[in-house]
Chains A and B, each alone.
Chain A
Amino acid sequence: MDFGLTDEQQLLLESLDELLERECPESYIADLDLHHKPPTTFRKAMHEAGFGSLGFPEEYGGTPVDAVTLVLLATRVARQGFNNGYGLELLQAMDIIEFGNEEQKAEVLGLLANGEVPFALGFTEPGAGSDNSAMTTTAVHHDGMVTFNGTKTLITNALQSKYLLLMAKNPGVEDPRKAISMYLVPMDAPGVTTNQLDKILWHISDSCEIFLDDVTLPESCLVGVKGNGFKQLMRNFEMERLVIASQCLGLAECAFEDAAEYAAQRVQFGKPIGQFQLIQQKLTDMAIKIENMRNFVFKTAWMLDQGVPLKSQGALCKRYCAMAAFEVADEAMQIFGGVGVTVGTRVSRLWRDIRGHRFGGGTDEIMVHIAGRQIVKDHS
């Protein structure tokens, strides 16, 4: 078994390091977090260096990339202490590249190139969270037009996006899996209003409720095939869980490094606290969790690259990494003592940001819901 990097992966990581050092130092991240601003300049720089279009087909200016490499990069960006969703944005754009019409593709790729978030993803509703088949937002097609009504909530980056990738139901179809379609709706379309939700984490991304009141658009806003919305959305979901897991890994690595350095230097009772066995035990267990996460993430990526069916692997990986990363961040904060909860200490941000990953992309519990069923099925 080869755990080494290829020359190409090593060079790509070195390039990314250079870019992170230049465009994304801790002062930049802390400032964005404090002022709740999006990382536009960093996104733009990533795009210019070709990291923003990895995995896109070549005819759209992209470069093919394997899952292991993508996960290496996503982990590295997160290890900077940066919860910017690198990798996830690529996956979302892939939905449009794969299913969108030429106009939609041109629009989305253009926005990406400018460092902007082309669209927010809207499926969660007040009455439909984990159970998204219960969504009630309607899309009624009539005379070449389509009219939307309903409410979405907890939508990330809605305020900084030009579009909403909206999941809505045809009220005439019973089976929820066949009723849902995908639409690209301009956020400034008449009838779209928002209510920003203040949250305690992910400050570089806004979160919103979105209200759709008789929003009427030409049918050309449909993405892909009518009734296939759910299938289209799920197309990249294994990869999405994996990328979230790799972000958790990177953020946890960052928290671990900070805590280990602090333990080596903070003196109490006449010696560095790292000399106390209780602190050493924390660091040891954190290191074990990080190693487990790393193995889980890279094995899962390798399986994807080999075409091995993942079955419940993605759900297991996402659940483990989101939870273990939070445990690592929590212990890291404990090692910092009281200063760990202050805003200027990076570990407090990591602790907050990792917590969000226990919901986004499916909760810890829903991962059990997915994996548990599969395990029982495999043994029945």
Chain B
Amino acid sequence: MKIVVAYKWAPNPQDADVRPDGTVDLSRAKAAVSEYDPVAFELARRLADATAGEVIGLSVGAASIDTPLARKAALSRGLDRLVLVADDALADADGTRLAAVLAAAVRAIGDVDVVLAGDSSIDVAAGQVPLTLAGELGWLGLASVSRVEAADGGLVVERDLPGGTTVLAVAGPVVLAATADAVVPKVAGMKDILAAAKKPTEVLALDGLDVPAPGATLTTLSTAKPGGGDRQATVIDGADPAAAAAQLVGALRQAGAL
């Protein structure tokens, strides 16, 4: 089975500076494999091991996603090889455009059975790339995947949806976006990190790919901090649970919540 893991080399918002006007400066944030993507790496590795398959990492973005550190960070997480499209033309690309480039790269890789992705990226967190990618490829796309296993040449996929769990039989190529807690990813050990330096990376030129021109481009009009609400930060001493519960009910009444 040929499995692609689409991941993002993303700045960590914990290192971000929020300017007084609410805009976010990520220029000094350290980049890493985006928070939830290791879950997809782990699912892919397990699936590949069960099917004697291959796991190919794929990331597209600005030229800065291709550094020796970025390559090793991805390759140490259970990949067999890596494919990158690193071009500053993609520096501020929106999710739709990134999905189109990812789709072109998946086509260039060829004969891919499954694309796995994380739940959402740590910096943008819109969660729309995997399903847009499925659309671009004309494949089935499933989000909220909590389990995936090989069965009879196809896959059995479990989805964790608000209404309950669904188990599906899936044949044919598919894009799957994993839930953030589908599996606990293995951390990369010294052996994995040392081996990463020896694994192959292929850099695809953006202009060599067959990426359809975007039908529309996004213009951001404004950004703002999410409303935090007026927090009262009332702390209730829990030493005596009954008294604490009474105090909590009192506080909620006072706030008009009850």
Contact = CB atoms under 8 A, between A and B. Distances in A.
Say if A and B assemble together. yes
Interface of A: 7-8, 10-12, 14-16, 18-19, 22, 49-51, 54, 63, 65
Counting chain B CB atoms within 10 Å of each CB, the highest count among A10, A11, A12, A49 belongs to A11
Contacts of B32: 14
B72 interface: yes
B69 A12 contact: no
For the complex of A and B, the 5 pairs showing the least CB-CB separation, nearest first, are: A50-B189, A63-B190, A15-B187, A7-B69, A18-B187
A7 B72 CA distance: 8
Contact of B193 (A8, A19, A22): A8
B184 A22 contact: yes
Nearest to B73: A11
Interface in B69-98: 69, 72-73, 76
Given A49-B189, A50-B190, 7 more contacts: A7-B68, A8-B72, A8-B193, A11-B69, A11-B193, A18-B187, A65-B190
Q: How large is the interface on B (under 10, 10 to 19, 20 to 34, 35 or more residues)?
A: 10 to 19
Nearest to B38: A18
Contacts of B76: 11
A63 B187 contact: no
B19 interface: no
B194 A8 contact: yes
A330 to B, nearest CB: 30
A51 B188 contact: no
A276 to B, nearest CB: 26
Nearest to A54: B190
Contacts of A22: 184
Q: Is the interface of A mostly helix, strand, loop or mixed?
A: helix
B189 A15 contact: yes
Contacts of A10: 69
Nearest to A55: B190
A49 B68 contact: no
A306 B188 CA distance: 27
B186 interface: yes
Counting chain B CB atoms within 10 Å of each CB, the highest count among A15, A16, A22, A65 belongs to A15
A66 to B, nearest CB: 11
B191 interface: yes
B188 A11 contact: yes
A51 B72 contact: no
Nearest to A17: B187
Nearest to A51: B189
B145 to A, nearest CB: 22
A51 B186 CA distance: 13
Nearest to A20: B187
Contacts of A65: 190
Nearest to A61: B191
A107 B204 CA distance: 50
A12 B190 contact: yes
A11 B187 CA distance: 10
Interface in B155-212: 184, 186-194, 196-197
Contacts of B68: 7
B72 A50 contact: no
A8 B197 CA distance: 9
A109 to B, nearest CB: 16
Contacts of A14: 32, 73
11 contacts: A8-B193, A11-B69, A11-B193, A12-B188, A12-B193, A14-B32, A14-B73, A15-B188, A50-B190, A50-B191, A54-B190
A122 B140 CA distance: 64
A65 B191 CA distance: 10
A78 B69 CA distance: 26
B180 to A, nearest CB: 14
Contacts of B187: 15-16, 18-19, 49
B3 to A, nearest CB: 23
A11 B77 CA distance: 11
A49 B32 CA distance: 19
A19 B196 CA distance: 19
B191 A63 contact: yes
